Amino acid sequence: MKEHYGSQKANIAYQKDLRRHRVDAKRGRILSSAATAFAALSLAGCGNYLDPPGYCAAQNRVLSDDELLRLAVLRELDQIDIDGSEGSISNFLSSNPNCCRVNRDPASRTLLDVLTRNHYFEVELNFPVKADRQQRFGKYYHVYVSILPCGTVAGSQGIGTDRLESASAK
Q: Between the ranges 23-37, 105-119, 151-165, where is the mean pLDDT highest?
A: 151-165
pLDDT category at 22 given cuts 50, 70, 90 is: low
Average pLDDT score over residue span 50-71 = 89
> What is the tens place of the pLDDT at every residue in 130-160?
888 888 888 999 999 999 999 999 999 999 8
The answer, yes or no, to whether residue 11 has pLDDT greater than 80, is: no
Q: If we measure between CA atoms, which residue out of 86, 85, 159 comes closest to residue 127?
A: 159
DSSP symbols for 52-92: PTT-BTTTTB---HHHHHHHHHHHTTTTSSS---HHHHHHH
List, in order, residues 6 or more apart from 12 with CB less than 8 Å away: none
Q: What angle do CA 95, 101, 106 make, to 5 degrees?
A: 165
pLDDT digits (tens, 9 = 90+) for 81-100: 899 899 999 999 999 888 99
CA nearest to 74, candidates 100, 104, 109, 97: 100
Q: What is the pTM of this model?
A: 0.67
The whole-number pLDDT of residue 111 equals 78
pLDDT of residue 6 exceeding 60: no
Name the residue type at position 153: V
